[in-house]
Amino acid sequence: MTLLYHLQAFEKFRPDTLYLIIFHADKKPPHIGLVWNLRYFSLTTKGFEVDLPVEEKLLIVEKRKIPCLIIELKATVHDSNNATNLLKIFKSYGPLKPNDTCIAPITEYLESIYKVKLTGVLLHGLISELQKHALIERNYALHLLFSKTNTYELPQYDKSQITMRINRLILLDNKKLT
């Protein structure tokens, strides 16, 4: 079970801040992206989405009312190479395949900047590790109902559900090409 505590309503992204965005947080599995300095990074079945203005994603979220959790991470030592490393890591991954996850480049990047081993392969494991290392600053919700105690429990899922979702998306992508 993974609980996010002290949820607040999301208002805006701030510059020089690192966020995890959990799209479709009420689904199994959700999708995860990363925001650094108002730029969006993600890995999809179509390839990587890197260095995009976060406002573009936020417009889609608002238009479709996509339930999201947004986790603001603790500030790191400001390093001018952070953005370059982030681009390099995401660009080293190809489109998602059935045995991949969208979390892999995010975990690799977070390990490089926080200098900790984040053993969780799935989102639940990553969040638990971030909590264990006290790397979460704040938790936000957008288009998502949370409890009166300002907590939200992420739905449990496993690797097979990720594989099924990726296979379904690849099939849809291929149908669109024909």
All structural domains of the chain with their residue ranges: 2-177
The answer to whether 125 touches 53, Cβ cutoff 8 Å, is no
Peptide bond before residue 29 is cis, with ω within 30 degrees of 0 = yes
β-pair partners for 71: 20, 139
Residues 76-103: tens digit of each pLDDT: 766 667 788 899 999 999 898 888 899 9
Burial of 42 (0-12, 13-18, 19+ CB in 10 A): buried
Whether residue 71 contacts residue 136, with contact meaning beta carbons closer than 8 Å, is answered with: yes
Quick: pLDDT tens for 94-150: 898 888 899 999 999 999 999 998 876 789 999 999 999 999 999 999 999 878 889
pTM of the model: 0.92
